[in-house]
Amino acid sequence: MSIDTTFWCERVRKCFSMFLKNPNTLQHLLLFGPPGSGKTTSASWLVEQIWGNRKPMMCISMNAADERSLESIRQKVFPFLRVDWRSDEERAPRFLILDECETLTEAAQLSLQTILNTDPKDICVILICNSQSRIHPKLRQRLLKIRYDPPARNDNSNDMFTGITRGDLRQHMRRSEVESRIWKYIHCHPSEIRDLICNETIDDQTIVSEILLLADMFQCMDDSLIQRINLIYPLIIDSTILQEETEEQLILLIREFKQKFEMKMSTE
């Protein structure tokens, strides 16, 4: 499959490049953003890169707009999960891709919770939608969310403000918050980390996702950091675990990233 990846936003390119370089970083994914931004093609591209011509055996892809019911999930998805064509030497995950998943009935969405209990290194679930607000909260909290930007325009400079929406403006205002948070991940004093993760404007999963991307960007990702990230994800999605324990693990994650970042910078 030949796919043009140049129009994907930088965030998406970095995420999917990281998944290919470090398959252990794969989590169950929620890809959301406007039509035409590359959500479906990037999911298909990832599976193609991992499995090549064996993709039809290792991936099931459904358009939920056509098959919205719980019965469709039971008839098509669960049989696929029960039959594993991988050899003992093959460690890459199989994939379940559900496009336009916001059109699934509530019962069908909630039935996916069982699949999300599966290790994403075994079966990786990728849900695709235009707006994450229509995905059931019980699913959203268990997925690594990747936001897609509108496709780049080829407008003339005179039309540079055409089509700017209130959503675009809100996102631009939030950009400075993200940049400030990234600076703190790298430079803040260890005693300030707890205040950083207790900020009510940011959730735990976003913090882990940003650390994941930063570690890949600065080439300081290693097995130790991957293991710590994989340890934290179950804590985030399990509501029975005390928030204090999750906070302690997030603090350890940020401290470890800072140490690896500083070691990397000292050797260059």
What integer pLDDT is reported at residue 44 of this predicted model? Answer: 92
Token pair of 84 as six digits: 């594993």
Question: Quick check: 128 pLDDT over 90?
Answer: yes
What integer pLDDT is reported at residue 31 of this predicted model? Answer: 94
Residue 254 CA to residue 257 CA, distance in Å, equals 5
Pick the range with the lowest mean pLDDT from 74-83, 114-123, 156-165, 229-238. 156-165
Pick the range with the lowest mean pLDDT from 47-61, 110-124, 136-150, 164-178. 164-178
Question: What are the structural domain ranges in the chain?
Answer: 10-152, 164-261
Measured over all CA atoms, what is the biggest interatomic distance in the chain, rounded to whole angstroms? 59
Pick the range with the lowest mean pLDDT from 17-31, 89-103, 201-215. 201-215
What integer pLDDT is reported at residue 28 of this predicted model? Answer: 92
What integer pLDDT is reported at residue 43 of this predicted model? Answer: 93
Q: Which of 28, 40, 3 is nearest to 148 (CA)?
A: 40
Over residues 137-173, the pLDDT tens digits come to 888 888 888 889 876 644 443 433 333 344 444 444 4
Angle at 223 between CA 17 and CA 16, to 5 degrees: 10
E strand map for the chain: 29-32, 59-63, 94-99, 123-129, 144-147
What integer pLDDT is reported at residue 129 of this predicted model? Answer: 92
What integer pLDDT is reported at residue 89 of this predicted model? Answer: 80
CA torsion 55→75→36→116, rounded to 10°?
-80
What integer pLDDT is reported at residue 8 of this predicted model? Answer: 83
The SS3 of residue 218 is coil
Over residues 243-260, the pLDDT tens digits come to 788 888 899 999 999 888
Over residues 169-227, the pLDDT tens digits come to 444 445 567 777 888 888 888 888 888 888 766 778 788 888 888 888 888 888 888 88
Instruction: State percent of the chain over pLDDT 70.
Output: 85
Class of domain 10-152 as given by CATH = alpha beta
Mean confidence (pLDDT) of the chain: 80
Question: How far, in Å, are 76, 208, 250, 255 from residue 264 at the CA level?
Answer: 47, 20, 21, 14
Residue 17 CA to residue 20 CA, distance in Å, equals 5
Query: What is the arrangement of strands in the sheet containing 144-147, beginning at the earlier edge strand?
Result: 59-63, 94-99, 123-129, 29-32, 144-147
Check: pTM over 0.75? Answer yes or no: no
Cβ atoms 132, 29 nearer than 8 A: no
Residue 155 CA to residue 52 CA, distance in Å, equals 36
Cβ atoms 78, 106 nearer than 8 A: no
Averaged pLDDT for residues 4-23 = 83
